Amino acid sequence: MSGIRAYGAYIPRARLAKQAMVEANAWFDASLKSLGKGERAMCNWDEDSITMAVEAGRDCLQALGELAPSALYLASTTLPFLDRQNSVVVAEALNLTPGLRSMDVTGSQRAGSSALISLLERSWQGDDFGLLVASEHRRSKAGSRSEMLWGDGAAALAIGDDELIAELLGVETLAVDFVDHYRGEESEFNYDWEERWVRDEGFMKSVPAAVNRLLERCDSSSDLIKHFILPTEQARTPAAVAKRLGIDPAAVVDNQLTTVGVVGAAQSILLLIKALETASPGELVLLLGFGQGVDALLLRATERINDFKAVRGLSGSLARRREEQNYNKFLSFNNLVQRDVGKRGEVDKQTYLSGYNRRKDLLTGFLGGKCRECGTEQIPREKYCVNPDCQALDSQDKHSFANKTGTVATWTADRLTFDWNPPAYFGMVQFDGGGKLMMDFTEVEEGKLDSGSRVSVHFRVRQFDSQRGFRKYFWKAIPLEQASAEGEA
């Protein structure tokens, strides 16, 4: 029996008020006022599909302790690299073994559900557990309905065949080239077709065809479904499809249009986590993925569902929010306006790949060292132990600092150094247990950072090389007090 062992999620802290978006664009399109309720999740300038995938993956793996997956699939339609395996970057940032099987799954809004089916099939064959991460950071035209309805986020699932919190009962797929939207090779944004036609010719025909076959295969019935997941930005469509299928309207899992927004290929996985956070043992979950066909999965919550506790999960991510009213900042962070970056911003950002490869254990994995002779921890890892009473040569084993917390020893807020969200904050972090490093700080609210502040570290974009289409990643520090205050707000 295959199924889900654990889950994790990540929603960016910043939540852009939709009313701010309406006020900026209603002069051009008054119909946007009808979508002005609530907020949407908004990536910081240094977040993308890879960094959010790392956050969600960490959240999922921490719930499993020392266990490591044998496969990692990354599902997204907004991967930063077209010819570089993005899932390998995520795997190295998570410090997973190089022996795992990695794969990018993309090209459709059902990439998340299709990747889930593939990993479930691996577990049928007796393979060790796999990790699915679905992450999305979609760009849309300014003042569009998509801008109002979409959001950013990531979700992760651990897939295996034992210690399951939800077991798979059956799968049905339907491959149909129904083009509700598309984005061509040379296009920046999606092109969408009329919503009513998509609903009537797409959802209302394809979904029932797949679901009815699935329920027949599993010898089940629609009235037994307790959680119905249909990812879509059409607010009324899930209830209409549920009614046609004979599913209780109360079973429809809300698409979070007023709290997060639809997170593309990650939406079905994120809503599955939402369902699992409230599911009781024995309850059936019907998960749909829609895009050039339909994926339909029927799962059943096990007795273990009551005992599983996510480190953060979706509910914890939703609680970690910071209200954002600046629509211009959203445009800037999503590269929807051409900014004057000044002379300091024009410095060449070329990455020397040979040098990067030599230190990627530090740059991507955030690995330092721990001395075998005296136990001293240090970052970066060097030839000699930094302990003056030891100074042993070649005595350091690799030691991860990615899950450590630390204390700000010194800090600076610099408005002369170029930063996409000035001022640039950086300073010295002293890690718990030993080791210190000069680091950038991110998501700092003015007046909320000082010497003695507690911080955690997070994988982020450090620089963009727009000339060559490359982006550099590294780890940054975020104040813990700020995160706690946002959670209580």
User: Domain ranges in the chain?
Assistant: 3-333, 344-356+403-488, 367-400
Residue 1, pLDDT above cutoff 50 = yes
Instruction: Compare 236 and 344 and report the one with higher pLDDT.
Output: 236
What average pLDDT score do residues 425-444 get?
A: 96
Instruction: Compare 348 and 418 and report the one with higher pLDDT.
Output: 418
Determine the pLDDT at residue 125.
Answer: 62
pLDDT tens for 348-362 read: 788 888 888 889 999
b/e map of 318-350 (b: 16 or more CB within 10 Å)? bebbbebeebebbbbbbebeeeeeeeeeeeebe
Average pLDDT, the chain: 93
Q: What is the dihedral of CA 71, 75, 80, 82, to 10 degrees?
A: 80
Calculate the alpha carbon distances from 92 to 59, 100, 333, 365, 371 in Å.
16, 11, 26, 6, 22
* Tokens (6 digits) for 276: 């699992």
Give the position of tokens 């204390």: 407
Residue 148, pLDDT above cutoff 70 = yes
Give the position of tokens 């490093």: 437
Instruction: Compare 128 and 113 and report the one with higher pLDDT.
Output: 113
| Lowest-confidence pick of 16-20, 47-51, 119-123 | 119-123
Residues 35 and 24: their CA atoms lie apart, in Å, by: 13
Residues 372 and 365: their CA atoms lie apart, in Å, by: 20
Residue 262 gets which letter from DSSP? B
Calculate the alpha carbon distances from 473 to 74, 112, 364, 382 in Å.
17, 24, 7, 21
For residue 212, give the H/E element and its range: helix 204-217
The total of other beta-carbon atoms located within 10 Å of residue 378's CB is 22
Determine the pLDDT at residue 426.
Answer: 96
Q: What is the dihedral of CA 228, 229, 232, 234, to 10 degrees?
A: 20
* Percentage of the chain exceeding pLDDT 90: 86
SS3 category, 16 = strand
Instruction: Compare 157 and 468 and report the one with higher pLDDT.
Output: 157
Determine the pLDDT at residue 68.
Answer: 87
Residues 455 and 167: their CA atoms lie apart, in Å, by: 38
Residues 232 and 192: their CA atoms lie apart, in Å, by: 13
Determine the pLDDT at residue 484.
Answer: 46
Residue 424, pLDDT above cutoff 60 = yes
Determine the pLDDT at residue 135.
Answer: 98
Residues 67 and 60: their CA atoms lie apart, in Å, by: 11
* Tokens (6 digits) for 74: 């990354």
Residue 347, pLDDT above cutoff 90 = no
Residue 193, class by beta-carbon neighbours within 10 Å (0-12 exposed, 13-18 middle, 19+ buried)?
middle
pLDDT tens for 441-484 read: 999 998 899 999 999 999 999 999 888 889 999 999 999 865 44
What average pLDDT score do residues 240-253 get?
A: 97
Identify whether the C-beta of residue 457 lies closer than 8 Å to the C-beta of residue 476: yes
Identify whether the C-beta of residue 402 lies closer than 8 Å to the C-beta of residue 51: no
What average pLDDT score do residues 169-180 get?
A: 95
Residue 489, pLDDT above cutoff 60 = no
What average pLDDT score do residues 396-417 get?
A: 95
What average pLDDT score do residues 404-419 get?
A: 94
Determine the pLDDT at residue 287.
Answer: 98
For residue 395, give the H/E element and its range: none
Distance of CA 447 to the CA centre of its chain: 28
In this prediction, residue 346 has a pLDDT band, given cuts at 50, 70 and 90, of confident
Dihedral sign of CA atoms 50, 56, 59, 60 in order: negative
Helix axes 267-278, 111-124, angle to 10 degrees: 60
Pairing of strands 322-324, 367-371: unpaired
What average pLDDT score do residues 172-176 get?
A: 95
CATH class of 3-333: alpha beta
Determine the pLDDT at residue 124.
Answer: 64
Q: Which amino acid is at 124?
A: W
CATH 2.30.38.10 fits 344-356+403-488, yes or no: no
Residues 41 and 13: their CA atoms lie apart, in Å, by: 7
In this prediction, residue 488 has a pLDDT band, given cuts at 50, 70 and 90, of very low
Instruction: Count how many residues are written for the chain.
Output: 489
What average pLDDT score do residues 267-292 get?
A: 97
